[in-house]
Amino acid sequence: MAVFTGAGVALVTPFHSDKSVNYEALEKLVEFQIANGTDAIIVCGTTGEPATMTMEEKVSVISFVVEKVRHRIPVIAGTGANNTEAVIEMSKKAQELGVDALLIVTPYYNKCTQNGLYEHYKAVAKAVSLPIIMYNVPSRTGCNIKPETAMRLGKDVSNIVGIKEASGDFSQIADLAAMAGDYLDIYSGNDDQVVPILSLGGIGVISVLSNVAPRETHDMVASYLAGDTKKATELQLQYLPLVRELFKEVNPIPAKWALNLMGMEAGGLRLPLTELEEAHKESMKKVMTELGLLSEG
């Protein structure tokens, strides 16, 4: 059974001006997502800035989100790192906190082999009982899960159940889809490729766009899965300009600025991430206003 079907939000972590976690704003973000149809919340994924959070902060944020969601939709914790033992430790903690599944990015910087990827994921999966979604994003990690390796893991390891595909390589994703069968669920990891990946048999997206347009992202996937490919395609194309704005600078820089513009108090970023450049602020504001996400004023 799939961890979720539809649109899962890769949620930002809001900070106060002193860069401490803003839990009041975090609760509002959670409620905003649930009220607007989001199908799952991914906490401490890349968009949540876990690379600059301490272990204690990540545990606290995950625990808080689990408590506030109250089983209304699945909560998936990002527990990936480039140290297998550290991933096992964080994954065990997330399981104890009551999350529904784990999202685990490929080890970065180490640039391990396909054999290394297999052993890494197998070791983590063996240490927990939760379902695991692998996360393939070579542009960030310098490491690509080949379709054969992904399928080997899906077949050999019962709790490795899905993959978030953000390689952008449709030929690779098509190869994976041809092999996937009942072994792996495929989620789009790129907001500009949701409908194309659904057309290859994907069942959803883990989305940055959902931070600012949760209802529309949910509707895009739900429409496609209900057979209304025309509406899904229209939404995909309508929101492409916003997706482009959200990735003009490294995620989550634009997403946080957009949320602040909407009055959602996402706060700033922790170094080495910096505030959105002025030139990009104006284009973001223009696109969001055109889409009705901001008032004309």
Q: For residue 207, which of 42, 56, 75, 53 has the smallest C-alpha distance?
A: 42
| Three-state secondary structure call for residue 186 | strand
Q: For residue 104, which of 114, 86, 96 has the smallest C-alpha distance?
A: 86
Establish whether the linkage from the previous residue to 214 is cis, with ω within 30° of 0: no
Give the helix ranges, DSSP H, for the chain.
23-35, 55-69, 84-97, 114-127, 138-141, 147-156, 170-180, 194-199, 214-225, 229-238, 240-246, 253-261, 278-290
Catalytic residues, which ones?
135, 164
The answer to whether 187 and 10 are in contact (CB under 8 A) is no
Please report, as a single letter, which amino acid is at residue 254.
Answer: P
The answer to whether 119 and 157 are in contact (CB under 8 A) is no
- Hey, which residues does 187 pair with through a beta bridge? 164, 204
Strands 6-10, 40-43: parallel, antiparallel or unpaired by DSSP?
A: parallel
CB atoms within 10 A of CB 275: 13
For residue 133, the number of C-alpha atoms closer than 13 Å in the C-beta half-sphere is 35
**Residue 276 carries which DSSP code?**
P
Please report the sign of the dihedral spanned by the C-alpha atoms of residue 196, residue 224, residue 244, residue 253. Answer: negative
